[in-house]
Structure 1
């Protein structure tokens, strides 16, 4: 005589496998990234001769301080394909508890030093780059950037992330 227990266990295992394959099984809770980089702009459109502020916020999701950050920023491929779009970074500031302070190293290079001193656990630091669109820039194109970052923590661990994309800004002619 066959044992009904083996049949039931086999049926249960088969059903669990089917549910897992189709995503109906309970999902495991994912831990947040140790550090997260987000972008925002103060305007979705700009006219030639105008400016847009591009804010970058690095959030420390770990229980240890961020001691070091390296970040690169570069135009997206579609932005580089529009030779008529003319723009440059003309300013940089970092938000501090006492107000905004000037950054070091404006431009698409090592932006990590701009985040300033240690970022404590659970806190964020925001750096704002000012993007100036040339008065003779072409129109009806989007300007966008992407970034990679690397952060080191006081517990001797590190994390890297990217690409992280900025919102695109549309250059419009009036």
Structure 2
């Protein structure tokens, strides 16, 4: 006995759906699974006079080379509006062709290119908390970064904002009276 046409079509649709699902499940992980920017700050808290290191890692999440990669780093509004917080970037090292942060409170980085699909470039920024910087509760140095990159021979671009995280500026522990005797 022959099945009616709607029954044959629904069976075919179900089989096509299962095959499609199996095909999608068998696909390897793509570079798009990797976020284009990872950020690490070496200290959650610091005292005046100490240094803090920020590590910015760009990973090309596209299927073609990234030919241009630009990134800026800026203090958040809370950081820049607190007149007692004092710091300045002192170093910029890594896979960069240009870095304008030295001796400033913000700046920009241009990464070494091309960046092959799935490959990474890392830049390390170090800033010094001034010895006379304000410290204590609610005193925190925080940044955000803007990343812009071009790929597909410059025909496509991608950009985004990323929070860098922050470092609490704590006051040095007081030396108890008579402890130095």
TM-score (norm 1): 0.71
2:76 paired residue number: 76
CA distance in structure 1 between the partners assigned to 2:66 and 2:152 by the alignment: 6
1:93 paired residue number: 93
Number of equivalenced pairs: 137
Q: Unmatched 5+ residue regions in structure 1?
A: 1-30, 96-100
2:164 paired residue number: 166
2:100 paired residue number: 105
User: 3-state SS of the aligned residue for 1:144?
Assistant: strand
2:12 paired residue number: none
CA distance in structure 2 between the partners assigned to 1:110 and 1:167 by the alignment: 17
2:113 paired residue number: 117
Structure with larger RCO (C-alpha < 8 A, sep 6+): 1
User: 3-state SS of the aligned residue for 1:55?
Assistant: strand
The answer (yes or no) to whether the contact 2:54–2:124 under 8 Å persists in 1 is yes
Q: Give the drift of 1:33.
A: 7.5
CA distance in structure 1 between the partners assigned to 2:86 and 2:146 by the alignment: 23
CA distance in structure 2 between the partners assigned to 1:131 and 1:166 by the alignment: 13
CA distance in structure 2 between the partners assigned to 1:159 and 1:167 by the alignment: 22
The answer (yes or no) to whether the contact 1:68–1:118 under 8 Å persists in 2 is yes
CA distance in structure 2 between the partners assigned to 1:94 and 1:80 by the alignment: 26
Q: Give the drift of 1:103.
A: 5.6
User: 3-state SS of the aligned residue for 2:131?
Assistant: coil
Q: Give the drift of 1:64.
A: 0.8
Which of 137, 143, 146 pairs up with 2:133?
A: 137
CA distance in structure 2 between the partners assigned to 1:102 and 1:44 by the alignment: 29
2:27 paired residue number: none
TM-score (norm 2): 0.68
- How much is the aligned-residue C-alpha RMSD, in angstroms? 2.3
Q: Unmatched 5+ residue regions in structure 2?
A: 1-30, 173-181
